[in-house]
Amino acid sequence: MILAIRLARLLAVILVIVVARYYLLNFLEPYNFHFDFKPSLKWMNENPNLSGWAQFFGATAAILLAIAIPAWQRHGQNLDRWRDAQDVNASLALLSFYLLSEVQTHLEGYLQTGDMPRKNARRDIETADLLQRIHALEIRENNQDRITRLFRARGAIHQTASSLTLPFSQNDSLSDGEKQLIRERVSTMEKIIKEAEEENGKAIHARARANLWLLPRAIHPVILFIITGKIR
């Protein structure tokens, strides 16, 4: 079924290209683009004062090249910066996705050990490591949505740890209400991870497109539409 849908999208794109080509050829058919150089050469031989015009056009071409070459170099520099930014963005998106997945696994572990005494269920070293890695990633992050997800994950860790570190309840297991709160945090993390996964996919596509040549980069959205049915 999915293959049939993709094939239908591909055929639709091909049909649009064929129709556009047909109308373009019909539009250009009345015009004759054949050019005979003999009259032009004869006219040039009969007008010896064309050297001034040649100098004019030569100077104009030199000025245009003097403008175009630095502009092209700046375009190349901007393209390199854009590619570097897309590489960094994709790397940070992937790190954020994996770290959020670890937070979810960390919280689910407390549901499995919830009937144990708190002093035995605690994983202080793992908690401290996750918080430290979240903080380190937040410093590097440049995307507000990912920073917000990391902030919510850190809050879930702190809230769960505060329940486990109650000084007068270390020999007691987690209550049913505390377990329910952890389940809600796990459910929230699942939603956050789904958002992070979608953003990670977009970042990977953006990085792939940035490293393509000009023509493939221009038709990349068309290919994505054929495969996914979405325009990005």
- Per residue in 23-46, pLDDT (tens digit) is 777 776 666 555 556 666 666 666
Answer whether residue 93 is part of any domain: yes
- Per-residue pLDDT tens over the stretch 121-132: 889 999 999 999
Answer whether residue 103 is part of any domain: yes
Show contacts of 206-212: CB within 8 Å, 24+ apart.
Answer: 206/86, 206/89, 206/90, 207/83, 207/86, 207/87, 207/89, 207/90, 210/82, 210/83, 210/86, 210/87, 211/83, 211/86
- Per-residue pLDDT tens over the stretch 73-90: 887 888 889 889 999 999
Answer whether residue 98 is part of any domain: yes
Question: What is the percent of the chain where pLDDT is above 90?
Answer: 38
In the numeric block, which tokens belong to residue 105? 């696994």
Answer whether residue 183 is part of any domain: yes
Answer whether residue 23 is part of any domain: no
In which region does residue 35 sit, left (phi positive, over 0), alpha (psi from -120 to 50) or beta (all else)? Answer: beta
Lowest-pLDDT range of 18-32, 83-97, 179-193, 196-210: 18-32
Q: Angle, nearest 10°, between helix axes 124-140 and 51-112?
A: 160
Q: Is the pLDDT of residue 103 over 90?
A: yes
Answer whether residue 81 is part of any domain: no
User: Containing domain of residue 108, as a range?
Assistant: 86-197
Answer whether residue 16 is part of any domain: no
Answer whether residue 160 is part of any domain: yes
Measured distance between the N- and C-terminal CA atoms of the chain, rounded to whole angstroms: 23
Number of domains in the chain: 1
For the chain, what is the HEC assignment? Answer: CHHHHHHHHHHHHHHHHHHHHHHHHHHHCCCCCCCCCHHHHHHHHHCHHHHHHHHHHHHHHHHHHHHHHHHHHHHHHHHHHHHHHHHHHHHHHHHHHHHHHHHHHHHHHHHHCCCCCHHHHCCHHHHHHHHHHHHHHHHHCCCHHHHHHHHHHHHHHHHHHHHHCCCCCCCCCCCHHHHHHHHHHHHHHHHHHHHHHHHHHHHHHHHHHHCCCHHHHHHHHHHHHHHHCCCC
pTM: 0.67
